[in-house]
């Protein structure tokens, strides 16, 4: 005659079954994890990403498979965007959406889910810029907003205390406009170079000041214009260079 199962044993078995069912459900739910760029598609702005956290499954550490066609986040709104030259090895944070994003990603706008799934590895997005301690930004500026390279030798910054804007280029700085470029100041404007200074214009060139105008170069100073060239000051005009060339056509 088989012994009956006690109420305590029955409740224990039911609780264990519920616990295992909950574990099985949560084992396949993803929220976020750090990753590393393996490949980047600049046209689609998607990446192949290697997850950087292993998971302990059935007594061993298991690596996740590469995540394919992951959309990457870049600040963008109002017809403007900020882009980065994403490189292999860049770290990021990967988030996993509540629902299947395939139809939205392919077509945009409001879409129905192509597959009923929750927080799946297939629905990842990458937030670039979040890094581990070894990859933290070096020479971090604490008193300015700075757009810079990681070597910190080329940057654009707005300094908080002095309300100053600094532009520094490791090699060259180019300013190009299809129309006018205006430089206005209520105080001094200094143009200094340890090499040549070239001012070229296919139209008129005008430099006007109610105070002194000083242009100095340790190399050659060349002023070229296909139109008129006017340099006007209510006080003095000084051009300093080993050789000064002025050409008007």
Query: pLDDT tens digit string along 217-249?
Result: 787 878 777 777 777 777 877 888 788 777 655
Cα dist from 190 to 186, 193, 216, 236, 240, whole Å: 13, 10, 9, 14, 13
The pLDDT, as a whole number, for residue 1 is 46
The pLDDT, as a whole number, for residue 11 is 57
Q: How far is CA 102 from the centre of its chain?
A: 25
Cα dist from 213 to 92, 118, 206, 228, whole Å: 50, 67, 12, 18
- Within 10 angstroms of residue 52's Cβ, the number of other Cβ atoms is 15
Closest alpha carbon to 89 in 32, 134, 55, 140: 134
Closest alpha carbon to 129 in 147, 106, 109: 147
Task: For each of the domains in the chain, give its residue range(s) and CATH number, in order of start.
Answer: 28-134 (2.40.50.230), 137-173 (no CATH), 186-249 (no CATH)
Tell me if residue 57 falls in helix, strand or coil: strand
Q: What's the pLDDT tens digit per position in 49-64?
A: 999 999 888 889 999 9
- CB-based contact 226:204 (threshold 8 Å): no
DSSP assignment letter at 63: P
Residue 12 contacts by C-beta under 8 Å, 6 or more apart in sequence? none
139: region left, alpha or beta (phi > 0 left; psi from -120 to 50 alpha): left
More confident residue, 16 or 181: 181
The pLDDT, as a whole number, for residue 145 is 93
Q: Using 50, 70 and 90 to split pLDDT, how confident is the model at 14?
A: confident
The pLDDT, as a whole number, for residue 43 is 96
> What is the pTM for the complete model shown?
0.73
- CB-based contact 34:92 (threshold 8 Å): yes
Q: What's the pLDDT tens digit per position in 134-153?
A: 999 999 999 999 999 999 99
Q: What's the pLDDT tens digit per position in 96-142?
A: 999 999 999 999 999 998 888 888 999 999 999 999 999 999 999 99
CA distance 172 to 161: 27
CA distance 155 to 74: 19
């Amino acid at each position: 005659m088989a012994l009956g199962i006690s109420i305590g044993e029955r409740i224990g078995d039911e609780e264990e079954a519920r616990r295992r069912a909950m574990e099985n459900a949560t084992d396949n739910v993803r929220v976020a994890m750090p990753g590393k760029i393996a490949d980047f598609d600049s046209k689609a702005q998607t990446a192949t990403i290697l997850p950087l956290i292993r998971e302990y499954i059935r007594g061993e550490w298991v690596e996740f498979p590469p995540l394919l066609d992951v959309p990457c986040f870049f600040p963008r709104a109002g017809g403007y965007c900020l882009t980065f030259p994403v490189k292999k090895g860049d770290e990021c944070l990967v988030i996993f959406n509540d629902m299947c994003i395939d139809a939205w990603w392919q077509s945009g706008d409001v879409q129905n889910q192509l597959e009923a799934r929750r927080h799946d590895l297939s629905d990842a997005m990458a937030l670039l810029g979040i890094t581990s301690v070894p990859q933290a930004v070096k020479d971090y500026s604490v008193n300015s907003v700075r757009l810079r390279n990681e070597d910190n030798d080329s940057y654009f910054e707005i300094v908080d205390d002095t309300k100053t804007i600094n532009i520094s280029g490791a090699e060259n700085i180019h300013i190009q406009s299809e129309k006018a470029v205006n430089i206005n100041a209520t105080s001094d404007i200094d143009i200094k170079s340890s090499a040549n200074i070239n001012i070229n214009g296919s139209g008129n060139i005008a430099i006007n000041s109610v105070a002194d105008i000083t242009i100095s170069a340790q190399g050659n100073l060349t002023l070229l214009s296909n139109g008129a060239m006017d340099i006007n000051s209510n006080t003095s005009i000084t051009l300093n260079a080993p050789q000064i060339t002025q050409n008007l056509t």
